[in-house]
Amino acid sequence: MENHLRIAGTMEIAENKLCINKNRLNGIKKQVPNYFQNFEPDCFKHVTPRVGLRPVSPEGLPYIGRVSKWKT
């Protein structure tokens, strides 16, 4: 990822919708300064949030590698 930082975070059990939950996104932004003191929520105003699906097992562990049923 070269000189970039990826901050990711929540798992939501729901339909296969690719929409961003703004409440969860705002919660992540608020928590980042607790772990990275040089970051403030305003640091993210020019960042485009992204969303994606990650297949998980019934126990909540992610499947590693490609799962033929889904395009990831």
pLDDT at residue 54, as a whole number:
75
Q: Residue 72: pLDDT band by 50, 70, 90 thresholds?
A: low
Say how many domains are in the chain: 1
Return the sign of the alpha-carbon dihedral for residues 61, 65, 68, 72. positive
- Residue 66 belongs to domain spanning: 1-72
Record the pTM: 0.62
pLDDT at residue 10, as a whole number:
76
| 26-70 pLDDT per residue, tens | 888 888 889 888 887 788 888 888 888 777 778 877 777 666 666
Residue that is written with structure tokens 């919708």 in the block: 17
CB 62 within 8 A of CB 56: yes
Element containing residue 27 per DSSP (H, E): helix 22-35
What contacts 29, CB < 8 A, 6 or more positions away?
Answer: 41, 44
Report the 10 Å Cβ neighbour count for 68.
5
